[in-house]
Amino acid sequence: MRLTCPHCGERDLREFYYQGDAVALNRPDPDATDVEWDDYVHNRDNPAGETRDLWYHEGGCGAWIVVTRNTVTHDVLCTELASDLKEASA
């Protein structure tokens, strides 16, 4: 498997650390409801198809990357810096 780091270019899977769903970017407000926090920390979808998850270029530049990929075809559709996405949504 190959992932394109926005900084370093296309790299082998083993340079990356896999974290999980990119929902982790959407941290609830401290005063949010228990349900929101429960969802954020524990509940994940397991889609057959497009998914967005967080990878860390640990063996490279140290960037956290949001990877949009298809769990059925294994196509990697898009890779973006998590910080760019987060700042854009701020």
Give bridge partners of residue 73 from the DSSP assignment. Answer: none
Q: Which does 64 bind (CB under 5 to 8 A by kind): other proteins, Zn ion, none?
A: other proteins
Nearest to other proteins of 34, 45 (CB atom): 34
CA distance 50 to 27: 22
- Considering the complex, what minimum distance in angstroms separates the CB of residue 49 from other proteins? 15
Strands (E), 1-90: 2-5, 9-12, 17-21, 50-56, 64-70, 76-81
| Binding interface with other proteins (CB under 8 A) | 1-2, 12, 17, 19, 24-25, 27-28, 30, 32, 34, 37, 40-42, 54, 56, 58, 62-64, 74-76, 81-84, 86-87, 90
